[in-house]
Structures are given as C-alpha cells and as structure tokens.
Amino acid sequence: MKSAMKRFLRRGIVIPVVLLVIIILLLKFTYDAVDDVETFYALTGWLLEATLQSATPLILAALGGMFSEKSGVVNIGLEGMMLIGAFAAVAATYFFYDPWIGLLAAVLAGGILAVVHAIICVKMKGNHIVSGTGIILFAAGFTTLMLEVIWNRKGISEQVTALPNVNMPFLQDIPIIGVAFDNLSPIVYFAFVLVIVSWYVMYRTPFGLRLRAAGEDPSTLDAAGVSVEKYRFIGVVISGLLAGLGGAYLSLGRGLPAFGKQMTAGRGFIALAALIFGNWTPFGVLAAGLFFGFLDTLQHFVGFVPAWQWIQGYSQFLQMIPFVLVVLALAGIRKSVPPKAIAVPYEKEVKA
C-alpha cells in the first residue's frame, strides 16, 4: 500500500501540480476581473460544477477504455458505445417513464455493442481499429435511424424524465462548494466512486492482475493456465458498460433530457485522449478527464467575464488543447506506458 502510494505520488504528481497552478492563476485573474466577492463565488462555483459535469462522461468512457486497453484490445469504438448508450437511455425512459431503467438500458446497450467488438477482436482475431470504426459507423447510423423510427423526428428526440439530481442541503452555505456540489446528477458521484473501484479491481484483485497480464504478457498468462481470451472478452465488455453509462449521462444527466443526433460529438475520442494522457491508470484518467472537462468549460466560462470575452473568438484553440497535448505526450514530452501487447491478437500455440 505504501509503495503504491509512493508510486502514485511520483508518477501522478505532474498533472495535478500543473492543474493546481493553472486553477490558482485563473482564480486570481477572475477575482481581479470581476472585483466582487459574491460574483466571484458564483462564477467559480459554476466553473467547478460545469467542470465536473463535462468531465463525468469523459472519465466514465476513459475508464472503460482503460479496462479494454489494459487487457490488450484497442477500443476506438468508445464513441459509438457512448452514442448508443445515450440513445438507449432516452428510448427506455421514453417507453417506461423511469430514468433508472433508462440508465440500465444504456449500460446494457453499450455492453451489447462491446460484445460485438469483443467477438470480432478476441474470438475472430480481427483488426481492432477496423472493428472500432465499424462500431462507430453502425452506432451513428442506427441511433439516427431509430430517432426517426421512434419519434419521427430528425434532429432531437422528445423530452423525457431526467434522472433526479442529488441535493446536498448541508453544503449550501459554503461558498463555491455549495454552488458546485449541490444539484448534481448522481452519475457524477458514481463516476468518482467507479474510479476508486476500478483502481481497487485493477491493482488489488487477482482479476485485475490477470486482466493486466492479458495485455502485457498474454503468453505468460496462458502458461499459467488462464484463458487470455476470457479476460480480454471481459475487459472489452466492461469498457462497453462504462461507455454506455457515460453516454447515459450525456442524455439524461445534464441539460435537456433528450437524445440529439450525434450528441457525443467526439467525446469518445477525447476520452481516448484522456486515457492516453492519464497513462492508462484510473487516477491518471480521473485527473486527465477533469482537466479536459475543465478546458471544455473554460470556453464558456470566458464568456461570463466581460474582460475576457474576446477569447471566445479563439475557443477552437481551447478545444484543441486535449488533442495537441496527447500528441505532445506521445511525442515524448512525458513518458507514456501503453500495455505491451496492445492490439496484438493472441494466438495460442497450436499443439503438435
């Protein structure tokens, strides 16, 4: 436990420190710009809340991607799994008038798509990237098609019941925190819990050890008498479940509780970026997801401060940062340690 803590501190210290410095600077500049304590509290509270909200789907999907990639299967289909999750959540809620059933349906829908990916990549030894592309195309087409079949509409579905938000009355009097943590979707808290659970499962259980072994050194795992295929299959399916949950958050957790055409808008890819930037670890994913969510929020945030509104003309550059950072990270600014046997189909040696 102690060594793990140390390792975490040593490896994961860079991103939090950078984040902290940026946030402190930003807070200072904001305070200088608005020059009013009440407005400052409201603004920063909003910033924190919106960051949590933008980060949640990224964290969930990236966590899913982690399970898949740690087991050795690339999953660029996260985008498609999120999309079908978002759709299934709204469709099931629309038919059964209960958002919790919608949540369940979203998780299952993502899982079913992941089963397809797993069958192709693990059982049939197909190309992971091609299969992921197929998943994305299928999900994009299927959800838009069903949008028209069910609601007979083109752009956006009918509104359904949203998930009830969690209220935290005891926090309301605290400045900033009160605004930020009150009235959030339960999925946000759930995402944080899942990060810890994932860490525990990944690094403290035999299951996690085997899952990681399937991605790092499958032949050794096989020699130990454990089925590589089984663990890879499970890893991919978990990724689908989590991505589906992330999609459900997009449609039911925040904003208008409805499904919009292509509503993930590339978040699956940003989640992949968060996964890589977070170095394929749960807490790395959490930090990267929060950071990318923060960047996503920042472009709206600058609109609230009159002195900064000119930045909105350059919001595309803010949106670019996650992608550029990942390219830089991979180009060797920071050490990236992907699983060794990633994207390599495991072929059992044939008996003579």
Instruction: Name the residues that contact another protein, by CB under 8 A.
Output: 74, 76, 95-96, 98, 101, 116, 119-120, 124-127, 129-131, 133-142, 144-146, 148-149, 266, 269, 272-273, 276, 313-314, 316-317, 319-320, 323-324, 326-327, 330-332, 338
Token readout for 289 is: 């997801």
Nearer to another protein, 17 or 155 (CB): 155
CB of 163 within 8 A of CB of 106?
no
Give the burial class of 232: count Cβ atoms within 10 A of its Cβ; 0-12 exposed, 13-18 middle, 19 or more buried.
Answer: buried
Q: Which is nearer to another protein, 206 or 332 (CB)?
A: 332
CB closer to another protein out of 2 and 335: 335
Q: Which is nearer to another protein, 94 or 249 (CB)?
A: 94
Query: Alpha-carbon distance 226 to 250, whole Å?
Result: 37
The answer to whether residues 48 and 176 touch, using CB atoms and an 8 Å cutoff, is: yes
Residues 6+ apart with CB under 8 A from 62: 271, 272, 274, 275, 278, 285, 288, 289
Give me the residue label for tokens 């990237």: 129
Buried b (16+ CB within 10 A) or exposed e, 128-157: beebbebbbebbbeebbebbeebbeeeeeb
Question: Smaller CB distance to another protein: residue 15 or 91?
Answer: 91
Q: How far apart are CA 73 and CA 237, in angstroms?
A: 11
In this complex, which beta carbon is closest to another protein, that of residue 224 or of residue 331? 331
Q: Is there a contact between 55 and 290 (Cβ–Cβ < 8 Å)?
A: yes
Counting Cα atoms < 13 Å in the Cβ hemisphere of 81 gives 40
Question: Comparing C-alpha atoms, which of 267, 262, 266, 54 is closest to residue 156?
Answer: 262
> 163 or 276: whose CB is closer to another protein?
276
Q: Is 56 helix (H, G, I), strand (E, B) or coil?
A: helix
